[in-house]
Amino acid sequence: MTQLILASSSPRRRDLLEQVNISYETRKQHVDESKMTCRSPRAYVQALAELKARSVPFSVDNEVIISADTVVSFEEQVLGKPKSRKEAFDMLSMLSGNIHKVYTGVTIRSAEQETSFVEKTTVEFWPLTKDEINEYLDSEEPYDKAGAYGIQSSGAIFVKEIKGDYYNVVGLPLSRVVRSLRSYGIFPNLSQPEHKVTGN
């Protein structure tokens, strides 16, 4: 049987695979993202997703590895995870009252084939006050997320409008991923929507 390996330590990506009852195991990827040179957001996320997928070796036959990378892009700038409170403040101030794009690159690979694609979602933020940003930065939520916000948590209140796949913002463009996984022999279990799959 084909086994899916999620090359990621992102809890969001695990949750999304579980949401559609896809069985998986996790295997940590070892890519140093700080060494990536700056390029267009689309090229950046695709290159990182490819590196992450290729950094994980196959351990038995019939494994399929999936990896992803998400960034926020605003006016030529690529925003990853903030390294400090100041950086997070600057990111949210930049996004306040403006429209930005979220790009997620995905790579799926088996011993026989490799597929990569990039999905874009456009997000508009309400204007944010300094107090609102500072209150949000007192929580732990922004610091492990690209662009310093989590649309799936309290960051939802910043969002005025979204165009594209919501799940792409959370870290995995779920419907496109599921469609691509079909050609690798991996399918969601749609008949048990309430069933929780436990990953390792």
Ligand X SMILES: Cc1cn([C@H]2C[C@H](O)[C@@H](COP(=O)(O)OP(=O)(O)OP(=O)(O)O)O2)c(=O)[nH]c1=O
The residues of the shown chain that bind ligand X, judged by CB under 6 A, are 8-10, 12-13, 29, 68-70, 72, 81, 102, 144-147, 149-152, 155, 169-171
Residue 53 to residue 130: CA distance in whole angstroms: 39
What values do phi and psi take at 169, rounded to 5? -70, -35
| CA distance between the termini of the chain | 17
Residue 72: strand pairing partners: 79, 102
Would you say 112 or 154 has its CB closer to ligand X?
Answer: 154
Would you say 20 or 72 has its CB closer to ligand X?
Answer: 72
Q: Report, in Å, the least distance between residue 74 CB and ligand X.
A: 12
Q: Report, in Å, the least distance between residue 120 CB and ligand X.
A: 12
By the 8 A CB rule, do 24 and 6 touch? yes
Q: Report, in Å, the least distance between residue 148 CB and ligand X.
A: 8
Would you say 9 or 122 has its CB closer to ligand X?
Answer: 9
Residue from 127, 167, 135 nearest 151 by CA: 167
Q: Could you write out the three-class secondary structure of 115-176? A: EEEEEEEEEEECCCCHHHHHHHHCCCHHHHCHHHCCCCCHHHHHEEEEECCHHHHHCCCHHH
Q: Angle, nearest 10°, between helix axes 85-95 and 130-137? A: 140
Q: Report, in Å, the least distance between residue 192 CB and ligand X.
A: 25
Would you say 53 or 186 has its CB closer to ligand X?
Answer: 53
Query: So which residues are the catalytic ones?
Result: 69
Q: Report, in Å, the least distance between residue 93 CB and ligand X.
A: 16
Would you say 70 or 110 has its CB closer to ligand X?
Answer: 70
